Structure 1
Amino acid sequence: MTTEFDLGALLAERGAERYELHTKYLNPQLPRMLHTIGFDKVYERGEGAHFFDADGNDYLDMLAGFGVMGLGRHHPVVRKALHDVLDAGLADLTRFDCQPLPGLLAERLLAHSPHLDRVFFGNSGTEAVETALKFARYATGRPRILYCDHAFHGLTTGSLSVNGEDGFRDGFAPLLPDTAVPLGDLDALARELKKGDVAGLIVEPIQGKGVHEAPPGYLRAAQELLRRHKALLIADEVQTGLGRTGDFYAYQHEDGVEPDLVCVAKALSGGYVPVGATLGRDWIFRKVYSSMDRVLVHSASFGSNAQAMAAGLAVLSVMENEQIVAGVRRTGDLLKARLTALVDRYELLADVRGRGLMIGIEFGRPSSLKLRGRWTMLQAARKGLFAQMVVVPLLQRHRILTQVSGDHLEVIKLIPPLVVDEADVDRFLTAFTAVMDDAHSGGGLMWDFGKTLIKQAVANR
């Protein structure tokens, strides 16, 4: 006799084994890392910009699943759209028909970038980047892609080729022909373009690693250089797109910038169904799909699936109806202004930067002798430990989830759900101020934890 599958019963029976199951069958370093820094929590449910543990404790999410949860967890409009599309019983993914939802979502997306004409739907940000790289190389007939130092464009082989962090690239060569140029350095860009083999430049208008914004005027000037050399500008908006920076796309903060290809993903999913999209000019798509023989020359088995398309349509509807982008500008300006006001107050706080609800908090070498010795000790063990020392008490003592903005960086990145409100900003500032006060006291739990991190860093060398 067969038993009907009961997901609730399975979770009730085996859910408590979550860390053991991950250690045994998945990446064993993840639970190890979480145990080490005290992040081995058990979260039971999520709602909006908050999630809750088994005891009902409320945690503020300033990470948004690396930007996936743009509308927070379980937005009712997105949730209903997914129920509706499942109940519709569509003949999805036949692969030999044209369903309405992909066309409708493409139409809605392109309305936010009217200089672009067509969309390819994949399943993730790295797929969106892979698509852009393939299309740029094919359309131009050139092999080389330029990218910026410290960029992050994904971890599959093609996108890894334009990843500016050696820690991700080490051991995975050979990769695609590529060259890194400093973000903002037009002379370096011009030198590479003169070689005549460059298909395009891929750039994050605000880099996720370290939260570094392209200098004013750079994107427009880079675009002009690229066009002069018949190369393409590719904007990676996987993290910055869909309102994150206070405009629908981050490149729109600079007048006259019209990328040839734009990559989006993350928040388009509503936090439910993986989806990625590559938007581009008509002539590029027509070159790639130049005949009926080439109709499947670039495709994805789950691309354009009904659940992902329904989620994307619902997300764009919510963004318009709830005026999400305007809200991001207000809340982001408030958060950044209040954090910036703390820079003169705390000697360990070096800089606050970013746009909208993508903010980097950078720590730096203190001036006082008492703190300088502790700072130097941390840096000698491993750069980035002080930022980790801030992230940990924010979660353990204040129930606020944040992240260090990259390996060996003394930067915390805030990318909360776009629906955070003024009360959430108050809560974060209160907690962050308390952690900074503790750090500047020169003692206490925070520096004790620092000793643990130093031992761990030395042991891993």
Structure 2
Amino acid sequence: MSFSIAELFTQHSQEKFELHENYLNNQMVRVLKTIGYDRTYTKALGQYLYDQQNTEYLDCLSGFGVFAVGRNHPTVVNALQETLTLELPNLVQMDVSLLSGLLAKKILATTPDNLDKMFFCNSGTEAVEAAIKFARYTTKREKIVFCEHGYHGLTMGSLSLIGEEVFREGFGPFLPGCSSVPFNDLAALEQALSNKDVAAFIVEPIQGKGVNLPDDNYLVGVQRLCKQYGTLFVADEVQTGIGRTGKFWAIDHWDVQPDMICMAKALSGGFVPVGGVAMTSKIMDTVFNRMDRAVVHGSTFSKNNMAMAAGLATLQVIEDESLVQNSALVGADIIRSINAMSSRYEFLKEARGKGLMVAIEFQAPKSLTLKAAWATLEAANKGLFCQMVTIPLFKDHHLLTQVAGHGMNVVKLLPPLNLTQKDRDWIVNSFDHAIADTHKVPGSIWSLGKNLAGHALKSKTGS
């Protein structure tokens, strides 16, 4: 009997949640069922998902930024199919591969001029781990400084650089020599670097948790301070890079030149995990400084042909379809259109972001009825108001979104970069209706809020 993935899908299509409850993370299933996200998707094309009833959903998360070119893009599919059928030598360990050289050349053509070497790995967190090791070896220093509320991955080195306690709780002790400073605070950064004992400062140009934007002078100041105190400047562009913010790299908005750029997510085309670090020749040549150190850091699967082909095809699609420019135009239009609603809605604080990395933030209202309703939700669990918004966005408007981080009243959009005018209207109109419903107290959306508050209180008490 021949093996068939299609047959497996057909035979077991109704078992997805049961399998996860029995053999994987059953808490994730509980979350999905509680908030009504327990759909069985049967097809995915571009920016759209389709369930068993063939209902179309606009995916505004894109796998946390993985599907920059949309799902199942034919150019990427064809590249992978071709790679599979060519019988190419792959992962020949006492050799170097052609495709990784071509991908390195193509990526470095997009980076600042000071970066001219690439290291490939399998994920964003591996890219950050490499940056930590390379910075320590290059500077002969131990300390790494990161930002409060930052996110850099969940392996132990990366986790040591996360500024969100919810991810760190119970996993310590962490990598020694790591400390945080507030984001957007140059004075605090200078104090942290002033002893000239910090190997690297790692920062997301725009923080993913909350979509926090830097002041115009912040990253320019970061570059200056790092040079002044001999610290390497590492830009974590795992989420913000490769067109996400309306520039190829988010650092391009502020015209800075870090010593390393960490990347992953979108580079995969959504098929084969791939991460990387772009760096200066000085860093590469310091770490790999002798023939006996040629393999001092690497990864077995890191330059496999499928991953490299996915990266090459993805970059070609982004170029051919002008997706960086589309991200800038459509994202700015969405932000502008949602901000235009603020005079009508007390709960709406602002929309912000760059390109198609967008946050919609909510706030406590002033009128007494709305203020009391808000306070009830906040007392149960901070950030619950946003969950009350995302659920009807999904169930009623078929828009897949998420809360931007733990304990914050921010909804985050991270859609594919190929959104159309129809998609733009879909997003704006859906938010308009959902936010309008929150201002109807009492109303059906507040019945949902009451149920969410009840679940949150049960979780706190462990009942």
TM tier, shorter chain?
over 0.9
Look up the match of 1:132: 131
Look up the match of 1:100: 98
Amino acid at match of 1:204: E
Look up the match of 1:353: 352
* 1:139-158 map, 5 Å: 139-158=138-157
SS at match of 2:14: helix
Look up the match of 1:47: 45
Look up the match of 1:431: 430
- Rounded to whole Å, the distance in 2 between the matches of 1:358 and 1:211 is 7
Amino acid at match of 1:298: H
CA RMSD of aligned residues (A): 0.8
Deviation at 1:195, TM superposition (A): 2.2
Deviates more, 1:379-388 or 1:444-453: 444-453
Q: Can you give the 5+ residue segments of structure 1 that lack an aligned partner in the other structure? A: none
Note the alpha carbon deviations across 1:275-295, whole angstroms, 9 max, x for none: 001110001011111111111
SS at match of 2:15: helix
Deviation at 1:443, TM superposition (A): 2.3
Residue 205 of structure 2 contacts residue 213 of structure 2 at CA under 8 Å; is this kept in 1?
yes
- Rounded to whole Å, the distance in 2 between the matches of 1:398 and 1:302 is 41
- Rounded to whole Å, the distance in 2 between the matches of 1:399 and 1:246 is 25
Look up the match of 1:409: 408
SS at match of 2:387: helix
Residue 196 of structure 2 contacts residue 231 of structure 2 at CA under 8 Å; is this kept in 1?
no
Look up the match of 2:254: 254
* 1:274-313 map, 5 Å: 274-313=273-312
Q: Does 1:199 align with 2:202?
A: no
Q: State the TM-score, normalizing by the size of structure 1.
A: 0.98
Note the alpha carbon deviations across 1:118-149, whole angstroms, 9 max, x for none: 11111111111111111111111111111111
Q: Say which of 82, 85, 88 aligns to 1:87.
A: 85
SS at match of 2:216: coil
* 1:24-423 map, 5 Å: 24-113=22-111, 114-176=113-175, 177-255=177-255, 257-423=256-422
Amino acid at match of 1:52: Y
Note the alpha carbon deviations across 1:252-301, whole angstroms, 9 max, x for none: 1013x100000110000000000001110001011111111111111111
- Rounded to whole Å, the distance in 2 between the matches of 1:423 and 1:374 is 34
Deviation at 1:196, TM superposition (A): 2.5
- Rounded to whole Å, the distance in 2 between the matches of 1:207 and 1:102 is 29
Residue 99 of structure 2 contacts residue 305 of structure 2 at CA under 8 Å; is this kept in 1?
yes
Amino acid at match of 2:29: P
Deviation at 1:403, TM superposition (A): 0.6
Amino acid at match of 2:49: F
Residue 393 of structure 2 contacts residue 431 of structure 2 at CA under 8 Å; is this kept in 1?
yes
Note the alpha carbon deviations across 1:209-237, whole angstroms, 9 max, x for none: 00001111111111111111111000000
- Rounded to whole Å, the distance in 1 between the matches of 2:26 and 2:136 is 38
Deviates more, 1:191-200 or 1:224-233: 191-200
SS at match of 1:279: strand
Q: State the TM-score, normalizing by the size of structure 2.
A: 0.98
Deviates more, 1:103-112 or 1:438-447: 438-447
- Rounded to whole Å, the distance in 1 between the matches of 2:333 and 2:119 is 36
Note the alpha carbon deviations across 1:298-354, whole angstroms, 9 max, x for none: 111110110010010011111111111111111111111101111121100112111
Deviation at 1:101, TM superposition (A): 0.2
Q: Does 1:21 align with 2:4?
A: no
Deviation at 1:162, TM superposition (A): 0.7
Look up the match of 2:443: 444
SS at match of 1:16: coil
**Identity value in percent:** 47
Residue 246 of structure 2 contacts residue 327 of structure 2 at CA under 8 Å; is this kept in 1?
yes
SS at match of 2:13: helix
- Rounded to whole Å, the distance in 2 between the matches of 1:214 and 1:143 is 27
Deviation at 1:444, TM superposition (A): 2.1
Deviation at 1:200, TM superposition (A): 1.0
